[in-house]
Amino acid sequence: MSMGTIHGVGLGPGAPDLLSVRADRLVRGARHVAYFRKAGRPGQARRIAEGMLRADAIELPMEYPVTTEIPVSDPRYNACLSAFYAECTDRLLTLAEAGEDVVVLCEGDPFFYGSFMHLHTRLSGKAPVAVVPGITGMAGAWNATGQPITWGDDVLTIAMATLPEDELARRIRDTDALVVMKIGRNLAKLRRAVTAAGREAEAWLVEHAAMPEQRVTPLAEATSVTPYFAILLIHGRGRRP
Ligand SMILES: C[S@@+](CC[C@H](N)C(=O)[O-])C[C@H]1O[C@@H](n2cnc3c(N)ncnc32)[C@H](O)[C@@H]1O
- 156 SS3 class: strand
Cα(238) to centroid(ligand 1), Å:
25
State the distance from the centre of ligand 1 to the C-alpha of 137, rounded, in angstroms: 5
**What gap in Å lies between CA 168 and CA 71, rounded to an integer?**
19
Q: Give CA separation, 48 vs 18, 32, 70, 124, 210, in Å.
A: 10, 17, 28, 27, 11
Residue with CA at minimum distance from ligand 1 atom 5: 108
Q: Is 11 in the pocket of ligand 1 (CB under 6 A)?
A: no
| 3 state DSSP class of 190 | helix
- For residue 76, the model assigns a pLDDT of 77
User: Which long-range contacts (C-beta less than 8 Å, at least 24 apart) are formed by 19-26?
Assistant: 19/48, 19/134, 20/132, 20/133, 20/134, 22/132, 23/132, 23/134, 24/52, 26/103, 26/132
208 lines ligand 1 (CB under 6 A): yes
Instruction: Give, for 180, the enclosing helix (H) or strand (E).
Output: strand 177-181
CA distances from 18 to 13, 52, 240 (A): 7, 13, 29
Could you tell me if 107 and 132 are in contact, meaning their C-beta atoms sit under 8 angstroms apart?
Answer: no
The answer to whether 10 and 116 have CB atoms below 8 angstroms apart is no
Domain with CATH 3.30.950.10 in the chain: 138-234
Question: 138-234 belongs to which CATH class?
Answer: alpha beta
Q: For position 78, what pLDDT does the model report?
A: 83
* Ligand 1 atom with the shortest distance to the CA of 228: 27
Q: Are 52 and 122 in contact (CB under 8 A)?
A: no
Q: Closest by alpha carbon to 50, among 27, 68, 23, 70?
A: 27
Q: Which fold has domain 6-135?
A: Cobalt-precorrin-4 Transmethylase; domain 1 (3.40.1010)
Range list for CATH 3.40.1010.10 in the chain: 6-135
Ligand 1: does its nearest atom lie under 6 Å from the Cβ of 4?
A: no
pTM to 2 decimal places: 0.95
Q: Is the CB of 230 under 6 A from ligand 1?
A: yes
Residue with the smallest CA separation from ligand 1 atom 7 is 108
Query: If you take atom 2 of ligand 1, which residue's CA is the nearest one?
Result: 113
Please give the chain's pLDDT, 241 residues, in tens: 799 999 999 999 999 999 999 999 999 999 999 999 998 889 999 999 999 999 999 999 999 987 666 667 777 778 889 999 999 999 999 999 999 999 999 999 999 999 999 999 999 999 999 999 999 999 999 999 999 999 999 999 999 999 999 999 999 999 999 999 999 989 999 999 999 999 999 999 999 999 999 999 999 999 877 889 999 999 999 988 8
Report whether residue 107 contacts ligand 1, using a CB cutoff of 6 Å.
yes
Q: Looking at residue 73, what is its pLDDT?
A: 73
Closest C-alpha residue for ligand 1 atom 27: 182
How far does the centroid of ligand 1 lie from the alpha carbon of residue 98, in Å?
33
Q: Measured in angstroms, how far is the CA atom of residue 141 from the centroid of ligand 1?
A: 9
